Structure 1
Amino acid sequence: MAIPRYAYLKMKMPSTKGIITIFGDYKKSSACAAASSRLAESLVIAAKKRLLDRVVAMAGKQLDMSPDPKESEAEGSFKLAMETKKIPLDPEHPERYAVVGTNLDSK
């Protein structure tokens, strides 16, 4: 049942012998605000640095990749389904079809 008054750095709360008032320290409050601001800024800088390091690492990996697109496709993590079937998209054009895996879930 405490009532904080941030602008005045006071907190009031009832007790059995009346109202208790707790006073804050403006200098300490200012120092804490400055320290927390510096901490937040350093955390943001550290997060941006990690992101930049990841981007640089990804760019380095792309430079190591083969310039031949067929070689890079073979190295990909996508694996074709072993059992597939052709689904016609247009009955009048049998050359238009989609290939789907036969082991797909009904969802």
Structure 2
Amino acid sequence: MAVPHYAYLKMKMPGTKGIITIAGDYKKSADCAVASSRLAESLVIAADKKLMDRVVAMASKQPDLSPEPKESETQGSFQPAKETKKISLDPEHLETHAVIGANLDRK
């Protein structure tokens, strides 16, 4: 039931004896914004460095002669139900369909 107003750094909410108004601190708010901006920038830089290290490692690596992974190893653990059916989503476009479980109700 609280209503925040970010431009004025105020929040109002109902109380037992009327409306309660809470005021924020502009300086503290600006300091937090600067600190979170620096944190976000450092996280992006760290992620980019990690990606670059990975690319460099892959580029300098000798060709791997190990066998290709099996298709079942590359897929996730999710497996659809064995009994499924296709239902048309649009009668004018028969190529658009959804696959659902065959034992579902019509509801």
TM-score (norm 2): 0.61
Residue of structure 2 in register with 1:36 after alignment = 36
Residue of structure 1 in register with 2:50 after alignment = 50
Percent identity reads: 72
1:27 is aligned to 2:27:
yes
Greater share of residues in helix = 1
RMSD over aligned CA atoms reads: 1.8
SS in 2 for 1:37: helix
Residue of structure 2 in register with 1:77 after alignment = 67
Moved over 6 A (4+): none
Greater share of residues in strand = 2
C-alpha displacement of 1:77: 1.7
Aligned residues: 70
Q: For 1:83-98, what aligned pairs fall within 5 Å after superposition? A: none
State the distance in 2 between where 1:6 and 1:78 align.
55
1:35-71 Cα shifts (integer Å, max 9, x gaps): 000000000000000000000000011xx33xxxxxx
SS in 2 for 1:11: strand
Residue of structure 1 in register with 2:4 after alignment = 4
TM-score (norm 1): 0.61
SS in 2 for 1:4: strand
Give ranges in structure 1 of 5+ residues lacking alignment: 66-71, 80-107
1:14-49 Cα shifts (integer Å, max 9, x gaps): 011000000000000000000000000000000000
C-alpha displacement of 1:76: 3.5
Q: Which amino acid aligns with 1:77?
A: P
Residue of structure 1 in register with 2:82 after alignment = none
State the distance in 2 between where 1:28 and 1:40 align.
18
